[in-house]
């Protein structure tokens, strides 16, 4: 059935009709770890990392996949990426701390950010991160004060490309808060070429996120080329994923093929290419598991679960559409509104989703929640952030525990 195509690859239905992810029954996972819970198919995530590396490496050998870790900043996730030989990009000191704790070699880390503080940069420099992406002239000023040896940097260029995506995750258009205009980027390049502490390695471009067409992503290579010849070109990420039935993003092979064809046409053949998949790396590898707390029949019928906008903010922020199913009655059913338990009318996880005769106590599985849901989890209404559970070959382990009420008060002072 088409619904299973949204779940991690290899998801099956057991003999009694219960969904199984990575060989684990969802009802058993709910009993062991409670709900709501973020469930990650570890093997699927490893295979996805390998797919990106293989597709890029086969087309452009001097290259590296750098995981955009803001999509899933979890120490166990960093550990997995490091074990698969990927670099990671971090967008702040907190992500840097987790990446280092996960065993990512500092030289394989790229630091981003449009407003880096002295402490952010000091931590990065002391750790020995491989590249700092210069987003503004203040970055250069701070780095030249802080660096005592040599630090590799990339200049972030606004490529002037407006892709079809939600305004909140579009980054490559003129007027973006990220990066430098072509004229300012050229000035930054000239200044860095004369720095005795900052080593100008190349240029960085990024068009946006959840982009379902490879063309604007590939066009970024041409924009980067206009800035000059460099040793490194970081072409960013942005490849979208299929959240629901009517979305059809390019495959990894199609995406990487478009990028490398553009690179062959516009970039030096000896240059190193970096790409930064985030959402496309992890989204389909994760699901969120809820339990139904109440069913309110009417027009519409509301099915309320024990989570909501505290564990999935993408609906409220971006209007992202998801799908869902009862865990032991997969697919079909009457159309209902799946809502959360929080005190907001906007806490509506999925409007107009078919669920098969939902009842109090049923488990509901929402696929394609591996990206940004855990990232943006919050304590609205005192909600406890869910655990992260890695599953593989029928075994499951929590890699991040559920928050406790004691955690909520841990920062309180007398």
**pLDDT per residue as tens digits for the range 342-394:** 999 999 999 999 999 999 999 999 999 999 999 999 999 999 999 999 999 99
Helix, strand or coil for residue 310? coil
> What is residue 406's predicted lDDT score, i.e. its pLDDT?
97
Q: pLDDT tens, 134-173? A: 999 999 999 999 999 999 999 999 987 777 666 766 666 7
Which of 83, 48, 113 has its CA nearest to residue 370? 48
Determine the Cα–Cα distance for residues 132 and 139; give it in Å rounded to an integer.
9
HEC string of 289-302?
A: EEEEEEEECCCCCE
Closest CA to 102 of 90, 114, 111, 118: 90
Q: Is the peptide bond before 36 cis (omega within 30 degrees of 0)?
A: yes
Residue 208: the pLDDT is 81
**Residue 178's Cα: distance from chain center in Å?**
18
Q: What angle do CA 335, 341, 343 make, to 5 degrees?
A: 115
- Sign for the CA dihedral angle at 90, 94, 98, 100 comes to positive
Torsion of CA 19, 21, 22, 25, to 10 degrees: -50
Average pLDDT along the chain: 95
CB 366 within 8 A of CB 278: no
- Average confidence (pLDDT) over 220-249: 94
Which residue from 271, 270, 210, 200 is spatially nearest to 235, judged by alpha carbons? 271
Residue 399 confidence class, pLDDT cut points 50, 70, 90: very high
Query: Is the pLDDT reported for residue 242 higher than 80?
Result: yes
pLDDT attached to residue 175: 74
pLDDT band at 340 (very low <50, low <70, confident <90, very high): very high
Grouping H, G, I as helix, E, B as strand and the rest as coil, residue 112 is coil
Measured between alpha carbons, how far is 276 from 87 in angstroms, rounded to an integer? 9
* Paired strand residues for 157: 180
- Domains contained in the chain, CATH given: 2-41+283-408 (2.40.37.10), 43-281 (3.20.20.10)
DSSP 8-class letter at 341: S
**3-state secondary structure at position 401:** coil
Q: Which residues pair with 397 in a beta bridge?
A: 390
pLDDT on residue 301: 97
Q: What phi-psi label fits residue 16: left (phi over 0), alpha (psi between -120 and 50 degrees) or beta? A: alpha
Three-class SS state of 318: helix
Q: How far is residue 253's CA from residue 383's CA, in Å, rounded to a whole number? A: 40
In this prediction, residue 207 has a pLDDT band, given cuts at 50, 70 and 90, of: confident
pLDDT value, residue 160: 76
Q: What is the pLDDT of residues 296-322, one digit of tens each?
A: 999 999 999 999 999 999 999 889 999
- Distance separating alpha carbons of residues 105 and 147, to the nearest angstrom: 19
- Catalytic center residues: 343
């Amino acid at each position: 059935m088409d619904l299973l195509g949204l779940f991690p690859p290899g998801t099956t239905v057991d003999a009694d009709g219960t969904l199984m992810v990575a060989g684990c029954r969802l009802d058993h996972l709910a009993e062991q770890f409670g709900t709501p819970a973020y469930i990650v198919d570890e093997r699927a995530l490893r295979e996805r990392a390998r797919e990106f590396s293989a597709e890029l490496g086969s087309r452009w050998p001097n290259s590296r996949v750098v995981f955009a870790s803001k999509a899933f900043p979890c120490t166990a996730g960093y550990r997995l990426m490091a074990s698969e030989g990927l670099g990671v990009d971090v967008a702040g000191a907190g992500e840097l701390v987790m990446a280092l704790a996960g065993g990512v070699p500092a030289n394989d880390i790229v630091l981003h950010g449009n407003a880096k503080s002295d402490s952010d940069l000091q931590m990065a420099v002391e750790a020995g991160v491989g590249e700092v992406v210069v987003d503004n002239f203040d970055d250069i000023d701070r780095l030249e004060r802080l660096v005592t040896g040599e630090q590799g940097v990339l200049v972030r260029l606004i490529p002037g490309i407006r892709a079809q995506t939600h305004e909140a995750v579009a980054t490559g258009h003129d007027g973006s808060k990220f990066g430098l205009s072509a004229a300012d980027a050229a000035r930054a390049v000239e200044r860095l070429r004369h720095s005795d502490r900052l080593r100008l390695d190349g240029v960085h471009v990024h068009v946006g996120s959840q982009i379902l067409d490879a063309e604007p992503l590939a066009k970024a290579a041409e924009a980067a080329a206009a800035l000059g010849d460099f040793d490194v070109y970081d072409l960013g990420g942005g490849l979208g994923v299929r959240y629901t039935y009517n979305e059809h993003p390019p495959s990894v092979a199609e995406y990487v093929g478009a990028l490398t064809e553009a690179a062959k046409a516009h970039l030096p053949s000896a240059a190193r290419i970096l790409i930064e998949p985030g959402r496309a790396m992890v989204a389909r590898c994760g699901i969120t598991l809820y339990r139904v707390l109440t069913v309110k029949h009417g027009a519409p019928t509301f099915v309320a679960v024990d989570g909501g906008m505290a564990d999935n903010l993408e609906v409220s922020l971006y209007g992202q559409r998801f799908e869902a199913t009862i865990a032991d009655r997969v697919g079909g059913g009457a159309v209902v509104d799946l809502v959360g338990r929080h005190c907001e009318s906007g806490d509506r996880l999925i409007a107009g989703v078919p669920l098969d005769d939902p009842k109090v106590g049923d488990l509901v599985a929402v696929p394609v929640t591996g990206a940004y849901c855990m990232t943006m989890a919050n304590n609205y209404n005192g909600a406890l952030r869910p655990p992260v559970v890695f599953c593989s070959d029928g075994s499951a382990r929590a890699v991040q525990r559920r928050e406790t009420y004691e955690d909520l008060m841990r920062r309180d002072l007398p």
